[in-house]
Amino acid sequence: MTSSAAVEVNGLRVHRGGRLVLRDVSCTLPQGVVTGLLGPSGCGKTTLMRAVVGVQIVSAGSVAVLGSPAGSPGLRNRIGYATQNPAVYADLTVAENLRYFCSVLRASRSDVQRVIDEVGLGGHADQLVSSLSGGELSRTSLAVALLGKPELLVLDEPTVGLDPLLRDELWTLFRTLASRGVTLLVSSHVMDEAARCERLLLMRDGSLLADDTPGALLVQTSTGDLEQAFLSLVRAKEAA
Ligand SMILES: Nc1ncnc2c1ncn2[C@@H]1O[C@H](COP(=O)(O)OP(=O)(O)OP(=O)(O)O)[C@@H](O)[C@H]1O
């Protein structure tokens, strides 16, 4: 593992439900960088994220995270993971959930207010989670992932259902965190989010089509936008 790599994935192969859903995936996540994981629904984004977090049974290959094998007990408090289906308690308020997870993680109590402010949920802190909108719920899940100042954040479609203003604010937060040295892996199936990432992993049908900067992908494919670049890479692979 190189010193600047927070995550190194080598020859990762995963079966789910008897099907091969990750096919020899290899990639590197540089430390302090926002890496976008993009590709169509069902291509394997969540599965790759689960492997990085260490909750996915793998058939072959290796995943090293912050210098240790993924899933090592010592990594637990160093990684924040926000899933697509928020794992928060519906019958507690936003602040109660955060106080609960704060004690589970043994994070500082002052973190609760910090993360509420970071995700813009100040007006909803005392609201029951069961009454939140979809976007507020996903921001609550993101707030939980931010507790304890993790070194690696794995965020599965954190901006789904958010209006453009909130999306913009969250991407600004992601870049601020990265500038402090946090490594972020952020999935999306919306190509217009790709341009906001410093690096991109483009995925299709369980394989990586590209692991590069948005600018380099445009140059490599001689295209003007990342949607076209993705299509060009798909066609090149099919023609090969
Ligand atoms: N528990 C499971 N059992 C069997 N197959 C599964 C399971 N979970 C996921 N899969 C399959 O694995 C493949 C990859 O799924 P994954 O959730 O990683 O895709 P994704 O790119 O994250 O999709 P989306 O953007 O829709 O969330 C899909 O074909 C999916 O149907």
Residue 109 has pLDDT above 50, yes or no: yes
68 Cβ contact partners less than 8 Å away, ≥ 6 residues apart:
74, 75
For residues 231 and 217, give the distance between their C-alpha atoms in angstroms, rounded to a whole number. Answer: 11
* Nearest atom in ligand 1 to 49's CA: 18
Residue 2 has pLDDT above 50, yes or no: no
Ligand 1 centroid to 42 CA: how many Å? 5
Residue 1 has pLDDT above 50, yes or no: no
- pTM tops 0.80, yes or no: yes
Ligand 1 centroid to 96 CA: how many Å? 32
Ligand 1 centroid to 231 CA: how many Å? 21
The complex's ipTM? 0.96
Looking at residue 160, its pLDDT comes to: 84
**What is the four-CA torsion angle of 112, 113, 118, 124, rounded to 10 degrees?**
100
Q: What percent of the chain has pLDDT over 90?
A: 77
**What is the per-residue DSSP string for 179-236?**
HTT-EEEEEES-GGGGGG-SEEEEEETTEEEEEE-HHHHHHHHT-SSHHHHHHHHHHH
**pLDDT one-digit tens code per residue, 51-88:** 999 999 999 999 999 999 999 999 988 999 999 888 89
For residues 154 and 81, give the distance between their C-alpha atoms in angstroms, rounded to a whole number. Answer: 5
Residue 92 has pLDDT above 60, yes or no: yes
